[in-house]
Amino acid sequence: MSALSDYRRREESITMSSEPVGMGETHELLTLNIGPHHPATHGVLRLIATLEGEVVRDIKPIIGYVHTGIEKTAEQKSYWKAIPVVERMDYLSYYFNAMAYCGAVETLLGIEVPPRAQYLRIIHLELNRIMSHLVWLGTSALDLGAMSMFWYCFRERETILDLFEMSSGQRMHTRYFQVGGVIEDIPAGFARNVQRFIDEMPSRADQYADLLEKNEILLSRLRDTCVLDEQTLLGWGVTGPLLRAAGNPWDLRKAAPYSSYDHFDFRIPVGTVGDNYDRFRVRHAELYESTKIIQQALNGLPEGPHIVEDRKVALPPRHELATSMESLIHHFKLVTEGFRVPEGECYYPIESPRGELGCFVRADGSAKPARVHMRDPSFVNLQATAPMVKDAYIADLIATLAMVDPVLGGVDR
Amino acid sequence: MPDQTGLEALAQQLSEALAGSVLATSHAHGRAEIQIAPEQNVAVLAWLRAQGYSFLASLHGVDYYPHEPRLGVIYELLDMRNVDRVSVKARVSTDEPSIASVLELWPGADFPEREVYDMFGVRFDGHPDLRRILMPEDYEGHPQRRDFPVGGEPVLFTYNETDGYGADR
């Protein structure tokens, strides 16, 4: 057959069964420190790897290097001022962090978000998903030796960041989502630019596939490496593309639709085996599906307000401040004290690019949250790296880490 | 999540299966919650897992200062087949903050339990590797508790490196 299977055969001829340790120089265990500053760990992650020759017997992830106490900081801010703080957790999917947090607060307040705001949120969430997957694809391909992919992916990412800048004024950590809707309606020309991007994106994704799908190095490093079955993944709490790659089609956008995801026609890509190749294919296929969702949201974008009319929660429009005393008072109260949220607890899960992102908010009746906790998928998924790479090669460890796609800002929070 | 009646039925079955395990139920903001006796947490969670709530979506801590018992450990369970969620809450006091580890049910509870230990000081009995996870190993105190002050961390410079936090390292 091909050279690829030849390579695998040679690989498989090496025995990986565990042998007694300390029987001489050849059977020595080596403890290798990887990171915290290492390009292949995708952030400030440290791994203590126990190696027997070139085979990984165990890894211990050590995290906390970029812990910034965001959950504690959020408790010191009024509800709407905590949004920019929680956005900085998972720095590749800031719209998702804001969505989970705002969703939790809206549930506690009992607010119904206007349809136009829901659609605008979906457009930005899915653009963000594509952007996050592009960063993953570029950096992962870089780990596997395909340098040019990085430039292509970041070219498209740049287009998305320009779109974010157009709608919110910021390229990253946009603070576009507010409690009750979005801060501003999209500017003139935004829809046209998004249309131009989603017309182009599928063909770009085809090009990535052409570059990678027939790349023998990539295929031999991904296929049949570090397989973990569905049940084990569920035990480890893994969600998102990693779980879907093992054949479980769990996706909160379909299973428990939020923000009118049930209005759209899209499919959930699933894998069959659960190896690194499936993880790669599932995320790559999601690029197309996100494009389809954006197209439908853009076509069906309803008219109406972009944020709730409730002045106790949302800032009044700027022009009203000059004419209405009441608006001025509302504005003043919101900016100085913020709004109060009735007592209660809420867990609001959404599907982030990496899996279930759940925001737990406890309100004690004051204007500041009493507890904000983010169930970040990177934090939970990272645990599954150890069972994945057990008895695999150290080169496969690097490939697996790339395919797990942990974002250390989300892991450490 | 189960509706109000479904939650009551579930809690009823649970208290019949494990006497004295259910302390309270609450159904608000689209969230069904069962408060349980902390010493029975593993049995309760194993029972709920057998009922189909087999996925541990999240495990986190809460500080209910000034209410007693102050600390809460919350397990968000998910039934993927019926797309159903239920929250289980166990309250422990700060004097004796310990609860059994659920690692035998879900290996994925490893990092979250370490995080709750780190941030709130709840000890998980039976956890094989209960160390701090996000804060430095020699850190004192549990920063997510509500009575832990904000902004009191001295920064080490050359002139004060002989005193202050971390100077003896």
What pLDDT, on a 0 to 100 scale, did the predictor assign at position A16? Answer: 62
What pLDDT, on a 0 to 100 scale, did the predictor assign at position B92? Answer: 92
Q: From B148, which residue of chain A is nearest by alpha-carbon distance?
A: A72
pLDDT of B10 higher than 90: no
Best residue in A346, A360, A376 to probe B by mutation, most B CBs within 10 Å? A360
Q: What is the mean pLDDT of residues B80-106?
A: 90
What pLDDT, on a 0 to 100 scale, did the predictor assign at position A15? Answer: 67
In a domain, A342, yes or no: yes
With a pLDDT cut of 90, the percent of chain A lying above it is: 49
Q: State the ipTM, two decimals.
A: 0.87
What pLDDT, on a 0 to 100 scale, did the predictor assign at position B166? Answer: 52
In a domain, A401, yes or no: no
What pLDDT, on a 0 to 100 scale, did the predictor assign at position A282? Answer: 93
How close does chain B come to A138, measured CA to CA in Å?
Answer: 28
Q: From A232, which residue of chain B is nearest by alpha-carbon distance?
A: B107
Give residue A294's domain range: 70-377
In a domain, A50, yes or no: no
Cβ–Cβ of B112/A380 closer than 8 Å? yes
Cβ–Cβ of B134/A375 closer than 8 Å? no
What pLDDT, on a 0 to 100 scale, did the predictor assign at position B67? Answer: 86
Residues 25-64 of B with CB under 8 A from A: 28-31, 33, 54-58, 60-63
Cβ–Cβ of B60/A373 closer than 8 Å? yes
Contact A88, A73 (CB under 8 A): no
Q: What is the mean pLDDT of residues A81-102?
A: 92
What pLDDT, on a 0 to 100 scale, did the predictor assign at position A1? Answer: 46
Alpha-carbon distances of A211 from A204, A208, A376, A399, B84, rounded to whole Å: 11, 5, 32, 17, 42
B109 touches chain A (CB under 8 A): yes
Among A250, A345, A371, select the one facing B80 at the smallest CB separation.
A250
In a domain, A405, yes or no: no
In a domain, A97, yes or no: yes
How close does chain A come to B70, measured CA to CA in Å?
Answer: 13
Tell me the chain A residues in contact with residue B146 when contact means C-beta distances shorter than 8 Å.
75, 370
B83 touches chain A (CB under 8 A): yes
How close does chain A come to B90, measured CA to CA in Å?
Answer: 14
What pLDDT, on a 0 to 100 scale, did the predictor assign at position B169? Answer: 47
Q: Per-residue confidence at B162, pLDDT binned at 50, 70, 90? A: low
In a domain, A18, yes or no: no
A371 touches chain B (CB under 8 A): yes
pLDDT of A85 higher than 70: yes
Tell me the chain B residues in contact with residue A250 when contact means C-beta distances shorter than 8 Å.
80
In a domain, A48, yes or no: no
pLDDT of A151 higher than 80: yes
Output phi, psi for B99, to 5 deg: -155, 155
In eight-state DSSP terms, residue B131 is -
Tens-digit pLDDT profile for residues A176-206: 999 989 988 999 999 999 999 999 999 999 9
Judged by DSSP in three states, B152 sits in: coil
Q: From A252, which residue of chain B is nearest by alpha-carbon distance?
A: B83
CATH number at residue A337: 1.10.645.10
In a domain, A127, yes or no: yes
Q: What is the mean pLDDT of residues B132-155?
A: 82
Q: What is the mean pLDDT of residues B10-35?
A: 85
Best residue in B78, B103, B148 to probe A by mutation, most A CBs within 10 Å? B78
What pLDDT, on a 0 to 100 scale, did the predictor assign at position A6? Answer: 66
pLDDT of A131 higher than 80: yes
CA Rg, chain A, in Å? 23
Q: What is the pTM of this model?
A: 0.89
Tens-digit pLDDT profile for residues B66-90: 888 889 999 999 998 888 889 999 9
Tell me the chain B residues in contact with residue A382 when contact means C-beta distances shorter than 8 Å.
111
Tens-digit pLDDT profile for residues A301-350: 999 898 988 888 888 888 888 899 999 999 999 899 888 999 999 999 99
What pLDDT, on a 0 to 100 scale, did the predictor assign at position A116? Answer: 92
Tens-digit pLDDT profile for residues A211-270: 888 888 888 888 888 888 899 999 999 999 999 999 899 999 988 888 889 999 999 999
Residues 68-127 of A with CB under 8 A from B: 69, 71-73, 75-76, 107-108, 110
Query: Domain total for chain A?
Result: 1
